[in-house]
């Protein structure tokens, strides 16, 4: 055996490493290829429908013609209002759980409630939204009712991601602030939160994506089958891209396939554009991090 020749044990380890690398590459391909196939199919079958008239006009002829502008505007309303409600509550709840609350029976119950809330099916959230917001609080079927339902559904994601981001900030940062006389809130405001913005944005990104694509929570609380006009306030009903896609696929006969696929493509592009913008912002914020 030469001086620089690999031993049988080293060769065996190199072979096992190559096998593991190939297996992981195959697993990654199995995750990526379906996404590429779905996006490619939508572009092939729905790309021809994309036009100025399709994006900025209302549905016509019983939704078998025309565009999807009311559904786009309604989706923006639902996502915006739900984000305005869920993001502050989720971030403040995570700050309390990570920075103020100790390990007690109350915090354990809160953690258990968050985990259980994350596992509740979306249709159950829809029924809760009907009972709580539409009937009990007398908000009616409106953007506000639907957005509050979406906010409750997405709160666990924001709380969990924010709590992890806060926990990732080194404890030495907090101790240094306390040693110079800063209060706990001053430490959180000026040190902890600025260094955890990237992780907090992760939860917000997931909230936006899920809120834009959900159908069941808005089906009974605020989404309309067809509205040719745009909503004027949170007390109005609205169309939504996810609900409109469901309606075209199951309730409206003789819809041209390119309209259905075009609607699905627009919904996908809206989610991807929001995610891309948020990821860019998160990356820029992360580069400014102090550790």
3-state secondary structure of 238: strand
Residues of the chain with pLDDT under 70: 1-4, 285-286, 288-291
Cβ-contact 244, 263 below 8 angstroms: yes
Cβ-contact 91, 202 below 8 angstroms: no
Q: What is the pLDDT of residue 290?
A: 58
Strand partners, 223: 238
- What's the pTM? 0.84
Cβ-contact 247, 63 below 8 angstroms: yes
Q: What is the pLDDT of residue 2?
A: 52
What is the rounded distance in angstroms from the CA atom of residue 186 to the CA atom of residue 178? 9
What is the rounded distance in angstroms from the CA atom of residue 79 to the CA atom of residue 212? 6
Q: Tokens 């909230």 identify what position? A: 207
Domains of the chain: 68-287 (1.10.3720.10)
- The model's pLDDT over 144-192, given as tens digits with 9 standing for 90+, comes to 999 999 999 989 888 988 988 888 888 888 888 888 888 888 888 888 8
In our burial notation (b when 16+ CB lie closer than 10 A, e otherwise), range 24-37 reads eeeeeeeeeeeeee
**Strand spans (E) along the chain:** 59-60, 65-66
Q: What is the pLDDT of residue 253?
A: 86
């Amino acid at each position: 055996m030469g001086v620089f020749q690999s031993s049988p044990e080293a060769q065996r380890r190199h072979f096992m490493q190559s096998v593991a690398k190939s297996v992981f590459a195959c697993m990654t391909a199995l995750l990526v290829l379906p996404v590429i196939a779905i996006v490619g199919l939508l572009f092939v079958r729905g790309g021809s429908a994309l036009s100025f008239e399709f994006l900025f006009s209302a549905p016509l002829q019983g939704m078998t013609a025309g565009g999807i502008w009311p559904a786009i505007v309604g989706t923006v309303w639902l996502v915006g209002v739900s984000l305005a409600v869920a993001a502050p509550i989720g971030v403040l709840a995570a700050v309390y759980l990570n920075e103020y609350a100790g390990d007690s029976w109350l915090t354990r119950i809160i953690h258990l409630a968050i985990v259980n809330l994350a596992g509740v099916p979306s249709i159950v959230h829809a029924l809760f939204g009907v009972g709580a917001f539409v009937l009990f609080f007398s908000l009616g079927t409106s953007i506000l009712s639907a957005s509050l339902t979406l906010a409750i559904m997405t709160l666990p994601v924001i709380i969990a991601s924010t709590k992890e981001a806060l926990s990732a900030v080194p404890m030495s940062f907090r101790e240094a602030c306390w040693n110079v006389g800063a209060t706990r809130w001053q430490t959180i405001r000026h040190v902890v939160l600025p260094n955890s913005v990237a992780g907090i944005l992760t939860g917000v990104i997931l909230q936006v994506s899920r809120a834009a694509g959900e159908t069941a929570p808005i089906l009974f609380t605020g989404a309309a089958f067809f509205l040719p006009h745009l909503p004027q306030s949170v007390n109005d009903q609205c169309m939504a891209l996810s609900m409109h896609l469901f309606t075209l696929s199951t309730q409206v006969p003789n819809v041209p396939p390119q309209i259905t696929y075009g609607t699905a493509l627009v919904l996908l592009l809206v989610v991807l554009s929001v995610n891309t913008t948020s990821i860019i912002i998160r990356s820029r914020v992360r580069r400014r991090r102090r550790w």
